[in-house]
Amino acid sequence: MAEFQLVVSYRPVETKAGLVLVVAGLPVWSLVAPFCLGAFVVFVLKSPESVIFWQAIAVSLFFLAVIVGGFLASAMAEDDKIHFSKEGLCFPPFLLPRLGFKRNWSWRELKSATLHLHGGRDYLALNLGGHTLTLGLHDMPREKMDEFLLALELWAPDCDRSLPLLEYHRNLQNAGKSGLAGQTQMWQDELGRRFTATTFVPLEPGRKLQGDRLEVVRQLAFGGLSAIYLVQKNKTELFVLKEAVVPPSAEADVREMAEKHLIREAEILFALSHPNIVKVLDHFVENDRHYLLMDYVNGTDLRQLVKQNGALGEKQVMAWASKIAHILAYLHNNQPPVIHRDLTPDNLVLKNDGSIVLIDFGASNQFIGTATGTMVGKQAYIAPEQLRGKAVPQSDFYALGGTLYFLLTARDPRPLSQSDIKAVLPDISDEMHDLIAYLTAYETEDRCPNAQALIDRLDHFKSSKAEDYIDV
């Protein structure tokens, strides 16, 4: 898997002018000055009495200064690359005077990024360790700008990005003028890396827990530092067991905080009682691994349903959207609100009786994700603010919008962008198109404010098309 790295050329007018001057002076500093210096040294060696010592030193230093200055100027004029990687940013030499002569900066040192207009052109101002670096966006390749801003999104969680900059980024994505579509694989590779913690060995079938009361039947899913198993209790009933592992490499205080968080989250999930939410029955720790025992839901998850039957009809999807909205209303109305953080087609199960059940809460992994640099959720369904570790109830709405997009198109949505379903299904209704765009808005303030507002919107749609609406 390739490391996510980005190199952006930055050539303002002054560097272009400097490059022209360096090239124009090339014969002087690369040929004439070395020749003159050599000839002068030979002359001094042959006739030392004809030259005063300090004058000889001054002339020699002059020619050396011309040669060295020419090489330095050439290097500064030719190196116009800004490098981005997970370690930080590296700027070209000609920007050093503006950055206190510090070339390499970590992402933690980037405090803010703002966009302002001057002379009819956009400029990006970066605050790095108290130094303000202003970059003209018109001096960078247009096709690289989206990747540039995505790098800020990915690696600079502490950077305060201004609203004009966020709007510029959103417009850039929507206009399709940047490299996101062309560079999706690199971006998704890096997201995948961030969503994968240090691997661990999951339990094998036949493994017994809780004094042989629970036996692992098979693995349902695993990755990173968690796994999900189908287990049998007392050789009779089937249950689902979710396993979470605190990283063994974590420091003692981090491990302690993580374990306290897992216990607190388990207590919150115990208190949930809703017919369309999987019931958490028990929490226990064994061999330094935390386990949540949940009811086994007999049915098919919506991803498998779509794989088997193809994209679903709009009326069916709208009906399920209403059911899911009521589930989210129940979760978000808790005090404190319970954010699912992993609402995807994989975690919505269609039971044999036709009801929808939400399973596999990602909440219990929140602290572990923060401690290890991983995130809860699938890449294509994670809201931008959740990527930065700041999940809010609106993050579940973003995931719901992506889920509706998948059910209707049989395709995962594009990560970190507002979904435009009409680009795939031109005949989709305006109501559904607007709903998905509303739910997947890039900024939380542009999304649905709460679950009740979503329910009201869906009820309005239901009443306006009562003859077509499928109630399930």
Query: How far is residue 361's CA from residue 126's CA, in Å, rounded to a whole number?
Result: 38
Confidence at residue 364, expressed as pLDDT on a 0 to 100 scale: 38
**Residues counted in the chain:** 472
DSSP 51-81: S-HHHHHHHHHHHHHHHHHHHHHHHHHH--E
HSE (CB half, 13 Å, CA atoms) of 245? 18
Bridge partners of 222, per DSSP, are 227
When pLDDT is averaged across residues 441-469 and rounded to a whole number, the result is 85
Rounded to whole angstroms, the maximal C-alpha distance in the chain is 111
- Residue 457, classed as helix, strand or coil, is helix
Instruction: Kindly report the number of other CB atoms within 10 A of residue 379's CB atom.
Output: 18
Higher pLDDT, residue 457 or 372? 457
Q: Quick one: what percent of the chain has pLDDT higher than 70? A: 83
**The tokens of 388 are what?**
């930065």
102-131 pLDDT, tens per residue? Answer: 989 988 899 888 988 877 788 888 998 888
Query: Which of 371-375's residues contact partners 24+ apart within 8 Å by CB, and which partners?
Result: 371/247, 371/250, 371/254, 371/257, 371/258, 372/197, 372/198, 372/225, 372/247, 372/250, 373/194, 373/197, 374/194, 374/195, 374/196, 374/197, 374/224, 374/225, 375/194, 375/195
Is 70 exceeded by the pLDDT of residue 418?
yes
Confidence at residue 88, expressed as pLDDT on a 0 to 100 scale: 86
What is the residue whose two structure tokens read 């719901």? 400
Is the link from the previous residue into 248 a cis peptide, with omega within 30 of 0? no
DSSP 471: P
DSSP 32: I
When pLDDT is averaged across residues 443-449 and rounded to a whole number, the result is 94
Confidence at residue 293, expressed as pLDDT on a 0 to 100 scale: 92
Higher pLDDT, residue 145 or 419? 419
Q: Please write down the HEC assignment for all residues of 236-302.
A: CEEEEEEEEECCCCCCHHHHHHHHHHHHHHHHHHHCCCCCCECCEEEEEEECCEEEEEEECCCEEEH
When pLDDT is averaged across residues 405-431 and rounded to a whole number, the result is 94
Q: Please write down the HEC assignment for all residues of 81-117.
A: EEEEECCEEECCHHHHHHHCCCCEECHHHEEEEEEEE
Is 80 exceeded by the pLDDT of residue 257?
no
When pLDDT is averaged across residues 437-456 and rounded to a whole number, the result is 95
Residues 372, 374, 380: CA angle, nearest 5 degrees:
175
361-370 pLDDT, tens per residue? Answer: 654 344 334 4
Higher pLDDT, residue 290 or 428? 428
- Residue 148, classed as helix, strand or coil, is helix
Band (pLDDT 50/70/90 cuts) for residue 173 is low
Return the closest-CA partner of residue 21 out of 71, 63, 67, 73. 73
Return the closest-CA partner of residue 374 out of 264, 224, 262. 224
Residues 6+ apart with CB under 8 A from 78: 19
Confidence at residue 362, expressed as pLDDT on a 0 to 100 scale: 55
314-354 pLDDT, tens per residue? Answer: 999 999 999 999 999 999 998 888 888 889 998 899 988 88
pTM of the predicted protein model: 0.61
Confidence at residue 468, expressed as pLDDT on a 0 to 100 scale: 58
Could you give phi then psi for residue 446, rounded to 5 degrees?
Answer: -95, -5
272-312 pLDDT, tens per residue? Answer: 899 999 998 998 989 888 898 999 888 888 998 999 899 99
Higher pLDDT, residue 185 or 68? 68
Confidence at residue 7, expressed as pLDDT on a 0 to 100 scale: 82
Computed on alpha carbons and rounded to an integer, the radius of gyration of the chain in Å comes to: 30
Of the ranges 30-39, 46-55, 189-198, 234-243, which one carries the lowest mean pLDDT score?
189-198
Residues 6+ apart with CB under 8 A from 199: 224
Instruction: Kindly report the number of other CB atoms within 10 A of residue 64's CB atom.
Output: 13
By DSSP bridging, strand 110-118 and strand 160-161 are parallel
DSSP 49: G
Confidence at residue 372, expressed as pLDDT on a 0 to 100 scale: 38
User: Which range scores top for mean pLDDT: 10-14, 17-21, 201-205?
Assistant: 201-205
Could you give phi then psi for residue 131, rounded to 5 degrees?
Answer: -95, 135
383-415 pLDDT, tens per residue? Answer: 988 887 788 999 999 999 999 999 999 999 988
Could you give phi then psi for residue 276, rounded to 5 degrees?
Answer: -110, 20
Band (pLDDT 50/70/90 cuts) for residue 189 is low
Query: How far is residue 365's CA from residue 377's CA, in Å, rounded to a whole number?
Result: 10
Confidence at residue 157, expressed as pLDDT on a 0 to 100 scale: 67
Is 80 exceeded by the pLDDT of residue 153?
no
Query: How far is residue 233's CA from residue 291's CA, in Å, rounded to a whole number?
Result: 14
Q: Are 364 and 402 in contact (CB under 8 A)?
A: no
Is 70 exceeded by the pLDDT of residue 371?
no
Confidence at residue 199, expressed as pLDDT on a 0 to 100 scale: 53
**Element spanning 401, H or E:** helix 393-409
User: Which range scores top for mean pLDDT: 72-81, 317-326, 457-466?
Assistant: 317-326
Per the prediction, the chain carries an average pLDDT of 81
Confidence at residue 409, expressed as pLDDT on a 0 to 100 scale: 96
Query: How far is residue 380's CA from residue 289's CA, in Å, rounded to a whole number?
Result: 29
Confidence at residue 190, expressed as pLDDT on a 0 to 100 scale: 52
Return the closest-CA partner of residue 98 out of 140, 123, 134. 134
Provide the sign of the torsion angle of the four alpha carbons 347, 352, 356, 358, taken in this order. Answer: negative
Torsion angle (degrees, nearest 10) of CA 220, 301, 416, 196: 0
